Structure 1
C-alpha cells in the first residue's frame, strides 16, 4: 500500500546546516538549543517535483521528553514569495541575515499551511503544494526542550479510503473524517511494516542495539558474555566464524585474552621445555609443571590485577583450551622474586643503582619495610 512512498529526513548535522538556524546546534545530529534563550530553525525548501502535491505525514522523534517546540509548515507551488509589490525566492528570504524572524514570517504568511504544537506524529492531508519548508521554534513559551533526533516528512498522500468500495469514495467532511479515522490504523500499519523491513539490521553486529548483542552472542554460543563490553561483543559477533575455526589453539587463546584486556600474553607448553641441563629442567618443571597436558599462561597487564580480574582470565582460558588441558595462569607482577616468574624485559628492568633516599622519588617493596 505504500510502494510509491517517498520521504525527506533530518537526522544528520548536514541536514540542519543546509537550513537557517539561530541559537540552536546539531553538531552530533541532535538539534538542541545552545543556551537558555529560545531558538529557531528554518529548513531548506523541500521539492516534491510534483505540482499540487498533497503531503502525507510528519514524524518527530525527541531526544528524551516530548514537547517543548512548535512547528509551522509552509507550502507553495512556486519557489517565489510575493508580499505587496515585492517578490523574492524563498531561499533568499530564509537565508537573509538582515531580516528578523518576525519579518520572515510576515513575508511567508501567504504560504502558511499548518501549525503543530509539539505533536510527534501528524497527518498532513491538508498541506498541498510542490514545495514545503518548516519553521521549528524551541524553548521559551513552548516549554522545556531536550532536543530532536529526527524529523521525517512522507509524501505523497496515501489514504486507505482509496482501497474501500466506491460508496466510501465521497468528498467533503465525511471523506475527510474517514481518512483521518483510518489514518490512525494506517500509521500503526506503516510503522510495523517499516520495522519488519529493517529487521535485518537487528542481526548486523554493527547496527544492532546494545541490548540485543547478548541475545545474538547466546545464539552463537559465545562464552562469558557478561565479561565483554559492547565493543568487544560486536567484535566477537563479527569474527565468530573465524574464531570458531581456530578455537582451542594458542592463537585463539591469545586473541581472546588480549581482547578482554590490553595485555601481553605468553603461552608455555610442555614441548618447549627441551633442554639437556638438569638444573634448567628442574627450574622449568617447578615453574611450568611436568605434565605434557599442562599449559602455563603468563599474562602481563602492567599493573597488579585483583582477584576478580584473575577469575575472569581463568574463566576465559578454561573455555578457550581443549577439555583435557590443565591450564595454569600467572599474572606477572612488576616485582623481582628469585626463582619465580620474573622475566627480564617483561615485568622487570635493569637500571642504575640508586641508594634509597627519602626524596619522594624512591620506592621500596612493602615486604622490606618491616626489616629495616
Structure 2
C-alpha cells in the first residue's frame, strides 16, 4: 500500500509561489510548510504516474491493481518478474486467446518451457464437392510440456491456466514429460 515518506521535500514549495511581500511573514511560512508536507507525497505520485502505470517499473503492490485493469490474475507466489511479464503482455495475449499460439504463449509464460501443442482441427479448400474435412469431429487440444531438471511443473496450476485459455467447447489433454533420465511430474 502507498504510504507517506517522512521528510520528503516538495519539488514546488508553496511559499515560492507567493509575491515577495509575503516571504518574511513567519506564520505564513510555517503554515505553507505544513501544507507542503501534506502535498509532497501527492506531487511525487503525480510526477511518477507514468512509472506506476508501466508494469516494468510499477511498485509490487500496484502491480496487482494493474493486473486487474488488463484482466489477468498472475499467481501471487510467482516471482515478481514473471508477474510483471504477465501484466505487460496481457493485451497482446488477449488478442490471441483461443488460438494455439495464444495457448503456447500462456503455457510458456507459466512454465518457462516451450510447449508442444497439437490441435484436432484444420482448414482446407477445394474446387471439388464432397471433399473430406480436415481434422476430427470433436475439437481437442493436446498440450505437451517438458520439465526441466530440478524444476517441476505444478499440474493443477497448469490445468487451471489451460482451462482458462482454451475455448469452452474444446477438450484438452495435458502431458507433462519428465526430464530425460530423471523423475518428474509424470505424463498423462
Residue 154 of structure 2 aligns to a residue whose secondary structure is: helix
Q: Which has the higher strand share?
A: 1
Matched pairs, number: 165
Supply the distance in 2 between the matched residues of 1:247 and 1:161 (Cα, whole angstroms).
53
Distance 1:195 1:268 in 2: 48
1:200–1:264: structure 2 CA closer, same or farther, 3 Å change rule?
Answer: closer
Which residue in the other structure is 1:240 paired with? 90
Are the structure 2 counterparts of residues 202 and 244 from structure 1 closer, same or farther at C-alpha, using a change threshold of 3 Å? same
Deviation at 1:291, TM superposition (A): 6.0
Instruction: Map Cα deviations across residues 118-148 of structure 1 (whole Å, 9 max, x no partner).
Output: xx639xxxxxxxxxxxxxxxxxxxxxxxxxx
Aligned to 1:301: 147
> Does the alignment pair 1:330 with 2:175?
yes
Is the 2:140–2:172 contact (alpha carbons within 8 Å) kept by the matching residues of 1? yes
Q: Secondary structure at the match of 1:193?
A: helix
Residue from 152, 159, 164 that aligns with 2:15: 159
- Please say if residues 224 and 315 of structure 1, whose CA atoms lie closer than 8 Å, have aligned partners that are also in contact: no
Bigger-Rg structure (1/2): 1
* Conservation of the 8 A alpha-carbon contact between 1:266 and 1:299: yes
Question: Structure 1 residue aligned with 2:106, among 253, 256, 270?
Answer: 256
Unaligned runs of 5+ in 1: 1-60, 62-119, 123-151, 273-289, 335-346, 349-362, 364-372
Q: How many Å separate the matches in 2 of 1:200 and 1:228?
A: 24
SS in 1 for 2:142: strand
Separation in 1, partners of 2:172, 2:45 = 47
State the Cα distance separating 1:195 from its structure 2 match.
Answer: 2.1
Report what 2:133 is aligned to: none
TM-score, normalised to structure 2, is 0.69
The match for 1:201 is 51
For residues 331 and 206 of structure 1, the distance between their equivalents in structure 2, rounded to whole angstroms, comes to 31
| Cα distance between partner residues in 1 of 2:10 and 2:77 | 42
- Listed as ranges, the matches of 1:167-178 within 5 Å are 169=22, 171=24, 175-178=25-28
Cα gap change, 1:214 to 1:300, in 2 (>3 Å): same
Alignment of 1:329-368 (within 5 A): 329-334=174-179, 347=180
Q: Aligned partners of 1:301, 1:121: CA distance in 2, in Å?
A: 50
Provide the rounded CA distance (Å) in 1 between the counterparts of 2:37 and 2:88: 35
| CA distance in structure 1 between the aligned counterparts of 2:139 and 2:150, rounded to whole angstroms | 28
Q: Against the structure 1 CA distance between its residues 158 and 314, is the aligned structure 2 distance closer, same or farther, given a 3 Å change threshold?
A: closer
User: In the superposition, relative to structure 1, how do residues 304 and 221 fare at CA in structure 2: closer, same or farther (>3 Å)?
Assistant: same
Instruction: Quickly say closer, same or farther: Cα 1:333–1:291, change in 2 above 3 A.
Output: farther
Aligned to 1:121, the other structure's residue is in SS state coil
Report Cα offsets for 1:224-270 as digits up to 9, x if no partner.
54364321222222222221111111111111111112224111223
Map 1:119-198; keep pairs closer than 5 Å.
Answer: 121=7, 159=15, 162=18, 169=22, 171=24, 175-198=25-48
Gaps of 5+ in 2: 123-135, 183-188
Q: Is the 8 A contact 1:269 1:296 kept in 2?
A: yes
Greater share of helix:
2
Note the alpha carbon deviations across 1:151-177, whole angstroms, 9 max, x for none.
x7968x75179369x7xx485xxx234
User: SS at the partner of 1:159?
Assistant: helix
